[in-house]
Amino acid sequence: MSDEQSSAVIERAPARATRPQSRRVFEDVCKQIRQDVTLGKLRSGDKLPSERDMAEQLGVSRAAVREALRALEASGVLEFRKGVYGGAFIRDMSSTGVTMSISDMLSLGNLSLDNLTETRTCLLSFAVRMACERATEEDLAAIEASLEQVDRATDMNSRIAGIGAFYTLIAAAAHNGVLQILIEAVTLIATDLLTKLRPQTVGEGLSQRRQPIVNAIRARDTDTAVHLMEVHLGQLHAYVDAHGGAKVLQSK
C-alpha cells in the first residue's frame, strides 16, 4: 500500500482542524471513507490510519471515528484484524455486509421465510437466464462438480457446502458481479438455515433433481432452465417450511 493510499482518508482536512461536534458527526467520517473507496483512493486490503491520526486530521473526536469505523464494519466496508499488524482494513468486495443486513432483519421478524424464497427465486431465475447466454464450459463444469461433491459427501456439512456452491456457481456463470454478491448473500442465509435444521435427507438425489437445470443451461434453453429452477426452489421452500424453517430463521 502506498503512502498516498494510506493517507487518502485524512488528506482533505488540515492537521488539528476543529469543527463543531454533533451526535451524527460520525456520519461525515463514514461518508468520507466511502467516497475515497468510490474514487479508488482506498482499495480492498488498504489499511486505514489509526483512530488518533484520523481524529486529529479530521478535527473530530476519537469516539466519532470509532463509531464510524464500527458502522462501516457492520455494513461490510471494513474488517478489523488483530495483532501487531492489525487495524481497520478495507474489506474485499463480498456479500458479507448484505448477508448480515438481511440476516438481522430476519431475526427481528421484519422479513419472512416467504420473503427470502421470493427473493432467491427472482435472483436465481434471472441468473439462470443470464447463464444461458453467458456460461462458459468452465462455468458448467464447475456447477456439475458441485453436484458431484454433494453425492460424494459423507457428512452433513460437506453436503450443505456443495448445495450452496451449486447456487453461487450459477450466479458466477451469469457473469454479473452485483447479481453474484446478492445471490451469495441469500445463499449463505439459506445454507445456514439448512445447517440448523439438519434434515436427514438433505443432499440425497441432488444430481437427479438439479442436473436437468444444468442440462437446460448447457442447451441454452432459457425457458426450461428458468422453469426448472423456479419449481426446484418452490419444492425446497415447502420442505424447509414443513421442517420449521421460519421459526429457526427468527431465532438466529
Question: Which of the 8 DSSP states describes residue 92?
Answer: P
Do residues 64 and 107 share a domain?
Answer: no
Q: What's the number of domains the chain is made of?
A: 2
| Whether residues 205 and 86 fall in one domain | no
Name, in order, each residue with C-beta under 8 angstroms of 132's C-beta and a sequence gap of 6 or more: 216, 217, 220, 221, 222, 225
| Burial profile 209-235: b = 16 or more Cβ within 10 angstroms, e = fewer | ebebbbebbbeeebebbbebbeebbee
**Are the CB atoms for 17 and 60 separated by under 8 Å?**
no
Q: How confident is the model at residue 137 (pLDDT cuts 50, 70, 90)?
A: very high
- Find the mean pLDDT for residues 18-29: 65
> Do 117 and 28 fall into the same domain?
no
Same domain for 128 and 177? yes
Please check whether residues 66 and 138 belong to one and the same domain. no
In a shared domain, residues 170 and 234: yes
Among the candidates 90, 116, 145, a domain finishes at 90
pLDDT tens digits, one per residue of 52-77:
999 998 889 998 899 889 888 876 77
Q: How many CA atoms lie within 13 A of 148 on its CB side?
A: 6
Range of the domain at 111: 96-250
Same domain, 146 and 57: no
CATH of the domain at 210: 1.20.120.530
* Mean pLDDT score, 74-92: 80
- One-letter amino acid for residue 187 of the chain: T
Section 97-109 average pLDDT: 59
Domain boundary among 90, 110, 133: 90
- Considering the domain architecture, whether residues 33 and 135 belong to the same structural domain is answered as no
Which is it for strands 87-90 and 78-81: parallel, antiparallel or unpaired? antiparallel
Are 119 and 241 in the same domain?
A: yes
SS3 at position 151? helix
Domain C-terminal end among 45, 74, 90: 90
Do residues 80 and 106 both lie within one domain? no
Same domain, 131 and 223: yes
What pLDDT sits at residue 214? 96
